[in-house]
Amino acid sequence: MQPLLDQHGRIATDLRVSLTDRCNLRCTYCMPPEGLDWLPSEDQLTDDEVVRLIGVAVRQLGVDEVRFTGGEPLVRRGLVDIVRRVRALDPGVEMSITTNALGLARTAHALAEAGLSRANVSLDTVRSETFHQITRRDRFTDVVEGLAAAEAAGLGPVKVNAVLLRGVNDDQAPELLTWCLERGYHLRFIEQMPLDAQHGWDRDAMVTADEILASLSAAFRLSPAAEPRGSAPAELFLVDGGPATVGVIASVTRPFCGDCDRVRLTADGQVRNCLFARSESDLRVAMRAGADDEELAERWRVAMWGKLPGHGIDDPSFLQPDRPMSAIGG
Ligand code: SAM
Ligand code: SF4
């Protein structure tokens, strides 16, 4: 087995699969209110094609962790079936989902039964009116129910991912942490990245990891967690001596590209070796032209080899990728 090695010595074992670019929320830092020009359906991989490519990754390229994302992965009709088929391919692969949790209350049990291991839920506030302001939809209660259903279905430890926005919810970090601690959810804050469809990201407006930690430290005693971070993007802190933790994913101010073990597959079958990559490798066209699994694996290896050492957000020459986060799979 030849793994997904790049020329800087990193090996990708964690595959993020975007199942759709569509979404039922409109988070202001991700999409405009009217949504986007969605992928034409003929360009979207079929369920069979998704399962085949994941099979190539798992069997021929050494991928041992698969995360379904989007867009909103729960709006993909074949999701439960895809999970079941990937589980059948490999009983050992770790399979999780990153979701806004709308509708998770209905599907959590079926997903767990099909073989999903864990759920990561995105939730930036525990105030209903702030939720409406950020997501442009009045659906806070559905998320709360989805989270509870995920925990009850055994998709834990349930992680909560939050983005703080200046002047909107940047004063709510301790409140969100308290809410998650009470329910046993593992909270992680993510710095806002220049990946919004509107290209409106402004470094000066971004709430930094230092600010997040200062705000939390006013309410909690934080100390560095002992466990080694490895390739995990979140820096973990014990809360009030532990065992509970809180994480900060400082992609912009404390980049961790040197330890990255991730690779991405978009809903239209493009390999992206980095969130910020400016080029992609088209496995859909190759697959539909008749490429066999070994040829697909080799194209994938070539795509990975050229991964850049870092995202370069601080370089004067940095250019935001054409694809927004919702079409890459965060
Ligand atoms: N719809 C699902 C969800 O929201 O969890 C999956 C896709 S969403 C693009 C994945 C994650 O990316 C979410 O946690 C979201 O908050 C985060 N995200 C979206 N745009 C972002 C940005 N510009 N900077 C940082 N995180 C972002
Ligand atoms: Fe949808 Fe997730 Fe983007 Fe929010 S962050 S608009 S839930 S894809």
Per-residue HEC secondary structure of the chain comes to: CCCEECCCCCEECEEEEECCCCCCCCCCCCCCCCCCCCCCHHHCCCHHHHHHHHHHHHHHCCCCEEEEECCCHHHCCCHHHHHHHHHHHCCCCEEEEEECCCCHHHHHHHHHHHCCCEEEEECCCCCHHHHHHHHCCCCHHHHHHHHHHHHHCCCCCCEEEEECECCCCCCCHHHHHHHHHHHCCEEEEECCCCCCCCCCCCHHHECCHHHHHHHHHCCCCEEECCCCCCCCCCEEEEECCCCCEEEEECCCCCCCHHHCCEEEECCCCEEECCCCCCCCEEHHHHHHCCCCHHHHHHHHHHHHHCCCCCCCCCCCCCCCCCCCHHHHCC
- Atom number in ligand 1 closest to CA 69: 6
Residue nearest to atom 26 of ligand 1 (CA): 192
Residue nearest to atom 4 of ligand 2 (CA): 27
Whole-number Å distance between alpha carbons of 322 and 276: 9
pLDDT at 227: 76
Q: How far is the CA of 251 from the centre of ligand 1 (A)?
A: 13
**Among the listed residues 85, 13, 93, the one whose alpha carbon sits nearest the alpha carbon of residue 48:** 85
Beta-bridge mates of residue 265: 17, 271
> Could you tell me the two tokens for 306?
């050229």
Whole-number Å distance between alpha carbons of 121 and 42: 29
**On the CB side of 162, how many CA atoms lie within 13 Å of its CA?**
33
**Among the listed residues 70, 85, 95, the one whose alpha carbon sits nearest the alpha carbon of residue 17:** 70
pLDDT at 316: 80
Whole-number Å distance between alpha carbons of 166 and 201: 12
Say how many C-beta atoms besides its own lie within 10 A of residue 303's C-beta: 22
> Could you tell me the two tokens for 93?
């692969």
pLDDT at 317: 84
pLDDT at 211: 98
Pocket of ligand 2 (CB under 6 A): 23, 25-27, 30-31, 70-72, 100, 122, 326
pLDDT at 4: 98
pLDDT at 330: 77
Whole-number Å distance between alpha carbons of 213 and 238: 12
pLDDT at 78: 96
Q: How far is the CA of 78 from the centre of ligand 2 (A)?
A: 19
Whole-number Å distance between alpha carbons of 185 and 144: 12
Residue nearest to atom 12 of ligand 1 (CA): 330
**On the CB side of 141, how many CA atoms lie within 13 Å of its CA?**
1
Q: What angle do CA 305, 309, 312 make, to 5 degrees?
A: 130
Contact 76, 41 (CB under 8 A): no
**Among the listed residues 277, 252, 254, 251, the one whose alpha carbon sits nearest the alpha carbon of residue 264:** 277
Residue nearest to atom 10 of ligand 1 (CA): 330
Whole-number Å distance between alpha carbons of 42 and 252: 35
User: Which class is domain 4-328?
Assistant: alpha beta
pLDDT at 228: 74
Tens digit of each residue's pLDDT, the chain (330 residues): 899 999 999 999 999 999 999 999 999 999 999 999 999 999 999 999 999 999 999 999 999 999 999 999 999 999 999 999 999 999 999 999 999 999 999 999 999 999 999 999 999 999 999 999 999 999 999 999 999 999 999 999 999 999 999 999 999 999 999 999 999 999 999 999 999 999 999 998 999 999 999 999 999 999 999 777 777 889 999 999 999 999 999 999 998 899 999 999 999 999 999 999 989 999 999 999 999 999 999 999 999 999 999 998 888 888 898 889 999 987
User: For residue 322, what is the DSSP state?
Assistant: S
- State if residue 23 touches ligand 1 by the CB under 6 angstroms criterion: yes
pLDDT at 283: 98
**Phi, psi at residue 119, to the nearest 5°?**
-125, 135
